[in-house]
Amino acid sequence: MRPSRVAPWTRMVEDELVPEEAGWVRPPDEAVAGAARALVQLVEKHLPQWFYGGEHLWRAYSAAMVMRMLDTLEAMMVLMVADFPVDGLVLLRTLYEQVVVFCWVSIDRDAHLQRWISGAYWWERKLHNDALDYDVKVLTPAQLKATEGAHAMPQVPQLAKEVDEHWGGRLIGFRPAGAGREGILNFRGLYIAIYRMGSRPVHAQPHALDPYADFLAYPRRVSSREPTPESIWWPLAIPLVAQALLVCHEELGWPDPDAIRAINNRMYGL
């Protein structure tokens, strides 16, 4: 297998190594699936959870967001077994945004939670207004009134930058911001590597058709997609979820951060 350029980012220890020193390889699909199962089981030990009136609202939202991310992870594993890497990239893009938003709100559970909720209201109001052109009313008058003054969330690159600046170096498993070594492997860089790359199939761009056709040949040939056993998308899901769970521990006190890092690192045979 090809040496992996993402392995150092996923190695959740303080004495980080560069690829040439580490000599790591891409973990096999079996190791990725095992890590995914282990992360899910680690969280499930703490379920169900109950939250009461005296607790901060973000605590309940945190637990629910973690479960949403784990469902996305498990869906990716189904696609991995079925060998659908393009669709796996689409879900990885979704997972990346889920993790970024979760980590961003956790930076300031008061101010950022309100901005997150306001952003949701903004989208609901936009949906309602767009649907009026088709004589469809999405919101009731009371619901529409609740959206007054709502503002859109900051764009994903800005959220990712703030996640790097806050959590980088604060938790083992996040690259220190401004260290000069993070390159494309911090959250802001992964916006390019995952989110923008994932935009190709999400937005039906021509590049998303490359696995199905050779447009440079003559005659142009379209056929069934060739198997892609070395797709890089599957392993990337594990450190993303692991980082979200590390922040979850900061918010809720579970799951165990050492166990999270051990599961992540074990995928690489460490």
Q: What is the pTM of this model?
A: 0.90
Distance of alpha carbon 76 from alpha carbon 91, whole angstroms: 7
pLDDT above 70 (res 53): yes
DSSP 133: G
3-state secondary structure at position 221: strand
**Dihedrals φ, ψ of 213, to 5°?**
-150, 150
Phi-psi region of 204 (alpha: psi -120 to 50; beta: other; left: phi over 0): left
Q: Which residue has the tokens 């190791």?
A: 31
| Whether the Cβ atoms of residue 244 and residue 264 lie closer than 8 Å to each other | no
Distance of alpha carbon 120 from alpha carbon 143, whole angstroms: 12
Q: Which residue has the tokens 């469902």?
A: 71
- Mean of the pLDDT values across residues 135-153? 96
**Dihedrals φ, ψ of 37, to 5°?**
-60, -40
3-state secondary structure at position 168: strand
Q: What is the mean pLDDT of the chain?
A: 88
- Mean of the pLDDT values across residues 94-100? 98
The C-alpha R_g of the chain, in whole angstroms, comes to 20
Distance of alpha carbon 189 from alpha carbon 157, whole angstroms: 9
Q: What is the predicted pLDDT for the residue at 21?
A: 41
Q: What is the predicted pLDDT for the residue at 168?
A: 92
**Dihedrals φ, ψ of 170, to 5°?**
-85, -35
Q: What is the predicted pLDDT for the residue at 180?
A: 53
Distance of alpha carbon 90 from alpha carbon 96, whole angstroms: 10
Q: Is the dihedral of CA 74, 202, 97, 92 positive or negative?
A: positive
Distance of alpha carbon 234 from alpha carbon 243, whole angstroms: 16
Provide the residue count of the chain: 270
pLDDT tens column, 232-265: 889 999 999 999 999 999 999 999 999 999 999 9
Distance of alpha carbon 132 from alpha carbon 40, whole angstroms: 42
pLDDT tens column, 164-208: 999 998 999 998 776 555 567 899 999 999 999 999 999 999 988
- Per the model's pLDDT, the better-predicted residue between 216 and 8 turns out to be 216
Q: How far is CA 96 from the centre of its chain?
A: 2
